Amino acid sequence: MLSFLTLIVFGVLQPYSRYAYRAVLHAAQNAGWSGVVPEGTIIEPNDKLTMTTDQADAAGQRLSRVFIRRIDENGREEVTTAGMAELRRTADGQNVTLALKDGQQLRFNARGEPELLSFQDFTMQLPLSGPARLLRARGGDERELNLFELAAKAKDPHSVIPKETLLAELYGRLARALALPLLPLLAVPLGLSAKRSGRAPGVIVGGILLLAFHHLIQLGQGFAETGRAPAELSVGLPFGVFAAICLTVFLTSRKRPGETPIGRLMERLSVLAARIRTRIRRRRPAEGAAA
């Protein structure tokens, strides 16, 4: 049941949710400027306009202490500040009219000389910017494809994504899902051996095996994507080794539950560690007596 749920989540649902997240993030980053200026926020609708305000009403249209930097059509910089401002969208919906009060404008003439203009009322138009084009269609990344699409595109000779990359992603998802039924074969013997040698060795060994399996699958996918090894070998070999370890541990513990190769190895290591600690303790009194 867990394997089946894993195949549904990581094989079907996650690819669609990954693309949906990227689409929402792309839309948020390229939403354009709608003519609203929140307080304390820098607005950059394009490369030629930067605008910010210290205070704004809830609608973002009545502003206080405004700063505007704009590059005109001749490439000259123009900086405008004002104590108050009010934003109004034009009827065509393409521009916004900014009514400024009590401010100054610094600009440069054709000779590059600065000119300072002080005003009580000043009106200027700023262009609105619409959202950027939508994110590319789903399928540009192998992680956005479900299991059936990965298998179909791997057989397509005209696929944009390399075949080995598609197979590596397909086999990696299958390996992680099919590894779940093997976990009880490893967990039960290690759990029984904990009664004899303690809980820590089983937890440590089990954690190391799972961590190694996960990273070896990732390493195999990397080898396949770069063409250094076929996906069947680079991903299938770590899965086969992990399955062999789980089966070996389970089968060897059937006659005498709790006795596994891993348990015996940990017992020998614990005996060796105890001997080392004993020798260290014996040396310390000897060194103290000599001193």
Residue 214 lies in a domain: yes
Q: Are residues 254 and 171 in the same domain?
A: yes
Residues in the chain: 291
Reply yes or no on whether the pLDDT at 231 is more than 70. yes
The pair of structure tokens assigned to 290 is: 């000599």
Helices and strands (DSSP H and E) totals, the chain: 8, 6
* Domain termination site, one of 77, 108, 127: 127
Q: What total of structural domains would you count in the chain? A: 2
The pLDDT value given to residue 285: 63
Q: Are residues 91 and 168 in the same domain?
A: no
Task: Summarize pLDDT for 8-66 with one digit per residue, the tens.
Answer: 998 889 999 988 888 777 766 655 555 566 666 666 666 777 888 888 877 667 888 88
Q: Are residues 175 and 119 in the same domain?
A: no
CB atoms under 10 Å from CB of 126, counted, come to 19
Measured CA angle at 146 (ends 141, 149), to 5 deg? 85
The pLDDT value given to residue 201: 65
Residue 272 lies in a domain: yes
Residue 206 lies in a domain: yes
Cα distances (Å, whole numbers) of residue 113 to 73, 78, 103, 108, 118:
17, 12, 20, 5, 17
Domain carrying residue 87: 43-127
Q: Are residues 183 and 249 in the same domain?
A: yes
* Domain termination site, one of 106, 127, 148: 127
The pLDDT value given to residue 33: 54
The pLDDT value given to residue 175: 93
Q: Are residues 241 and 198 in the same domain?
A: yes
Task: Summarize pLDDT for 133-185 with one digit per residue, the tens.
Answer: 556 777 778 888 999 999 998 888 888 888 889 999 999 999 999 999 999 98
Q: Are residues 70 and 177 in the same domain?
A: no
Q: Are residues 177 and 258 in the same domain?
A: yes
Reply yes or no on whether the pLDDT at 108 is more than 80. yes
Mean pLDDT over each residue of the chain, to the nearest integer: 80
Task: Kindly calculate the radius of gyration of the chain based on its CA atoms and give it in whole angstroms.
Answer: 34
Q: What letter would DSSP give residue 60?
A: S
The pLDDT value given to residue 259: 63
Task: Summarize pLDDT for 111-128 with one digit per residue, the tens.
Answer: 888 889 898 998 888 776
Q: Are residues 176 and 266 in the same domain?
A: yes
pLDDT band at 215 (very low <50, low <70, confident <90, very high): very high
Q: Are residues 264 and 178 in the same domain?
A: yes
Which helix (H) or strand (E) segment holds residue 70: the answer is: strand 62-71
Residue 14 lies in a domain: no
The pLDDT value given to residue 200: 64
Q: Are residues 123 and 167 in the same domain?
A: no
Reply yes or no on whether the pLDDT at 198 is more than 60. no
The pLDDT value given to residue 251: 85
Q: Are residues 115 and 199 in the same domain?
A: no
Residue 234 lies in a domain: yes
Whether 107 and 77 have beta carbons less than 8 Å apart is answered as yes
Residue 236 lies in a domain: yes
Residue 10 lies in a domain: no
Over residues 204-226, the mean pLDDT reads 89
Over residues 64-84, the mean pLDDT reads 86
Q: Are residues 257 and 190 in the same domain?
A: yes
The pair of structure tokens assigned to 146 is: 């479900």
Residue 180 lies in a domain: yes
pLDDT band at 192 (very low <50, low <70, confident <90, very high): confident
